[in-house]
Amino acid sequence: MQRRMFVKWISVLIIVTFFQTSVGFAEYQEKVENVIFMIPDGFSTSYATNYRIFKGDNISFDSLLVGMMKTNSANSWVTDSAAAATAMATGVKTNNRMIGVSPKGQELKTILEASKEAGKSTGLVTTVSITDATPAAFGAHVQSRKSEYDIAKQLVGKVDVLLGGGRSRFTPRSTEDENVIEIALSEGYRYMDNRKKLLNDSETGTRVLGLFAEEELTPVVDLQTDDQPSLAEMATEALRVLEKNEEGFFLMIESGQIDRAGHVHDPVWAMNEIKAFEEAVNKVLEFARQDQKTLVVIAGDHDTGGMSVGGYNEYVANIELVKEAKATGNKIASMLNKRRSNAKELVKQYSGITLTKKEEKEIKKAKKKEVAIVLNDIISKRAYVGWNTHVHSGVDVPIYAYGPASQNFRGHLDNTDLPKKIAEALEITF
């Protein structure tokens, strides 16, 4: 009797093990046709935690957490966005400020370029300039991230869908320069410069250039008009155009202003940009669930600002305080009168906080370039959000993944591992 029971349990164990192995093997073998690489610039675990508290609920992509990622560049434990994006695009570390080239200046093939060579369509979407460091690193090769006109010229023709800000980077700097928008039109792009054109776009052409601001898009919490699209709306348009290619596509979507908020210690700006990013993620996941051949990878390029959850020698976290705020610190600072005597009124109106006399004095004494930061630090202190730098920190950042081959992103990875694993999933040479 005992022998029969033993044999029976062994048989069950073998069947279960075989089933699990088969499922794991099948999962690994699932075909990946499309990749959507989403980069919340400056986002780390502290931003995730604070946003969860701010939202009052889990983040919609919390369940997709698979690992953590190292972010250092070739010449520093603390990376800038250019080196970070280059590593995430090429699989090779470079020095800070360099785009798409090795520390010695050699051009490096990017995962976007490899996807293009494999017959796939390509796209870049961002809330900052399309020539800024993160999108630039996926399709351009320059010694300095400041060479944004040259970056614009390199992106056009190589990337099928370009949506974001940076219109000024596409126009001539001198009489010797070409108008890059005109070059794009001559190469079959349809051009749009406002949200209405984007939302009404139903054309079948596969190349789109959308430049919705001279520089960066307006922070979502500061928007007072409807002439600029949201990140979710740009993502939706990019997917509509790119999915026409039967060979698949590679799309990078960046939420660039989480980083901007961190640099100036603005929790209102940061939380609202993460909210907009989450909305874009939800649109992407909706597409991926229906398609079933799309790999979605989400990872910040680095931490910005060294944000903490709680602080100021108190066991308190109160970032919910900024939930009803209606403007960034930069916006409030721009509305101050010459003597800054209206600071108390404006801060109350746009953040709900009543300034103390000491805080009013701090605002009045601040240098012109530092007024917004002083405002932000006052609001951060009330919300018990600490900061330890105005640049980046070198902490690891979370990785999220969904879809076929998502299991390959588990564990503690280097930023150079991500494009290699994406190439492996796509079965392309890289």
User: Could you list the active site residues?
Assistant: 81
Q: How far apart are CA 130 and CA 256, in angstroms?
A: 10
DSSP string across 401-414: EESTTGGGG-EEEE
DSSP string across 151-177: HHHHHBTTBSEEEEE-GGGGS-SSTTS
* Residue 81: C-alpha distances to residues 39, 106, 329, 379 (Å): 11, 19, 23, 27
Question: Running DSSP on this structure, what letter comes out for residue 297?
Answer: E
- HSE of 207 in the Cβ direction (CA atoms, 13 Å)? 15
Please report, as a single letter, which amino acid is at residue 377.
D
Strand 392-393 and strand 303-304: pairing? antiparallel
Tokens of 426: 């796509």
Asked whether the beta carbons of 372 and 264 are under 8 A apart, the reply is yes
Stretch (H or E) spanning 285: helix 267-291
Q: How many other C-beta atoms can be found within 10 angstroms of the C-beta atom of residue 142?
A: 22
Residues 6 or more apart whose Cβ sits within 8 Å of residue 112: 89, 122, 124, 138, 139, 158, 159, 250, 252
Give the max Cα distance, the chain. 94
* Residue 16: C-alpha distances to residues 11, 98, 202, 228, 407 (Å): 9, 51, 50, 53, 20
Please report, as a single letter, which amino acid is at residue 230.
S
Edge-to-edge strand list for the sheet holding 294-299: 190-192, 208-211, 161-165, 121-129, 249-255, 34-40, 294-299, 397-402, 65-70, 411-414
Q: How far apart are CA 169 and CA 294, in angstroms?
A: 32
